[in-house]
Amino acid sequence: MKSGRRDRRVGAPADSFGDRHANERATATDVITSRDNRWLKEFRVALRGGVPTTTGAVGVEGVRLVEEALSSRCKVEAVLFSNSGERWRDRFAPFVGRPDVGFPVLQTTDRLFEGIADTEHPQGVAALVVPRASTLDDTATAPEACAPLLVVLAGVQDPGNVGTIVRTAAAFGATGVLTAATGHSGTASPYAPKALRASAGAALHLPVVVGMPLGILLTQLKLKGIATVASCVHQQTAESGATGQVLAPWRVQWCEPVALLVGNEGAGLPEDVVHSADVRIHIPMAKQVESLNAGAAAAVVLYEAYRQRTSR
């Protein structure tokens, strides 16, 4: 099926797409009409499947998220519009309207786009993007902050919570986020479609390290002189551990190099991690409220860190 028009602003030179998709390079006049098209298969894996493609690309969907992806320093592999999503074309002109764009800009039918989309009512715009590879050193660098402020997610399983915490960390000046599994549970990927939506694309801008073993991570933090602050759930406050009491967040010196440890939504952090942390904190609350969820608790603590760090 041909669209009947030719727009020289869209797409990239044919030799920039790579041999992997040599037989399926869409030009500005092509509309993909087969669900077996290789590009649609990759979008389906990344969006509906929620896992990276073989090249490490993740799927972002919706006008706001695609804008965030295109404005980030991440490598973009492709942008896809549905027929109805073409109405957003002018909005993306600064990113896809240049003759030197280094990735294909594709179009498909509304029906096929709905088949690869992860949302119930898709806006008709999606992209494949490869997140930046960050290291612990990247997250511990604080060129514009008083000191490194890291957020370590250990066993946070809900992608919505992960995305919310990443967004909050970015909003309140954290220098990076790290995810790790515990002996009890893994941590949801910050690049899963639901997590990316919850983070409003912040995971594509903030340095993020995924999947570092928790024991190695804690050792590395100690070697770098970064203090660990364990957030305790209600039942963990009864046992303060061997080295000190449980503090309210405002009693912590957040202008020092610090890593906030956030644990599983139900079980919290493993007891050995809580007891080995340099500081343990708990948010004082009305007695009739048992606890906050992981996202809300992280927001309270990170705001206090932000208040201290900006007031200095």
Write out pLDDT tens, residues 183-211: 777 899 999 999 999 999 999 999 999 98
What pLDDT, on the 0 to 100 scale, is given for residue 86? Answer: 94
User: Would you give the DSSP letter of residue 225?
Assistant: T
The ranges of the chain with pLDDT < 70 are 1-29, 234-244, 288-290
**Nearest one of 80, 75, 66 to 31, comparing CA atoms:** 80
What pLDDT, on the 0 to 100 scale, is given for residue 143? Answer: 78
**Nearest one of 178, 218, 190, 155 to 58, comparing CA atoms:** 190
What pLDDT, on the 0 to 100 scale, is given for residue 267? Answer: 81
The model's pLDDT over 260-309, given as tens digits with 9 standing for 90+, comes to: 999 988 888 999 999 999 999 999 888 766 678 899 999 999 999 999 99
What pLDDT, on the 0 to 100 scale, is given for residue 1? Answer: 43
Q: Could you say which architecture CATH assigns to the domain 136-311?
A: 3-Layer(aba) Sandwich (3.40)
Q: Could you say which architecture CATH assigns to the domain 14-130?
A: 2-Layer Sandwich (3.30)
Domain ranges of the chain: 14-130, 136-311
Full DSSP string of 13-75? -GGGS-GGGGGG---TTB-B--TT-HHHHHHHHHHTS-S--TTS-EEEESHHHHHHHHHSSSE
What pLDDT, on the 0 to 100 scale, is given for residue 101? Answer: 80
What pLDDT, on the 0 to 100 scale, is given for residue 24? Answer: 42
What pLDDT, on the 0 to 100 scale, is given for residue 288? Answer: 66
What pLDDT, on the 0 to 100 scale, is given for residue 216? Answer: 94
